[in-house]
Amino acid sequence: MDTDDYYGRLKDFLPPLSQEDARAGAKIGASALLHLLTHSYLYAEPEARPAILKDAYKAAFFVMQVVYYLASGQYCRSKKELLACLDGAEKEILQAGLDVPAWLAAHTETQAFALLRGWCGGVLTGNESV
């Protein structure tokens, strides 16, 4: 979806992605994020947590792209484009990811972990459109 060919054609080497491939990718991404967040919340040193959250919120964008594509059929290539299409927790997650330090200045780390963990859990349980 978001890979441009520069030398040769990727489709000559790989079969086209199916909806099931995209669905599995979204769940794998959400699962990896949920694992990272849970482990970091429990075991990471306090001074490491802001950087971990910054990376996790950045990674959430890529999972969110796929989740939104599966729900709408529209693939958004940029955060700005996707942000205009979202509401609720997804929009808050994407906005937080644009400037995690500023978002953390107004929220607790516990809230940051909980917001993203809750969304990942929704992707995995089907409460988010996957």
Per-residue confidence (pLDDT) for residue 23, from 0 to 100: 95
Per-residue confidence (pLDDT) for residue 88, from 0 to 100: 94
Per-residue confidence (pLDDT) for residue 2, from 0 to 100: 67
Per-10-residue mean pLDDT, the chain, length 130: 77 88 96 98 97 97 96 95 96 96 96 97 82
Per-residue confidence (pLDDT) for residue 29, from 0 to 100: 98
Pairwise CA distance, residues 82 & 94, whole Å: 9
C-alpha torsion sign, points 70, 15, 29, 55: negative
56: left (phi over 0), alpha (psi -120 to 50) or beta: alpha
As to burial, measured by CB atoms within 10 angstroms (0-12 exposed, 13-18 middle, 19+ buried), residue 124 is middle
Model confidence pLDDT, tens digit, residues 79-89: 999 999 999 99
Per-residue confidence (pLDDT) for residue 130, from 0 to 100: 53
3-41 CB burial, b ≥16 within 10 A, e <16: eeeeeeeeeeeeeeeeeeebeebbbebbeebbebbeebb
Backbone angles phi, psi at 13, to 5 degrees: -115, -20
pTM of the model: 0.89
Per-residue confidence (pLDDT) for residue 125, from 0 to 100: 94
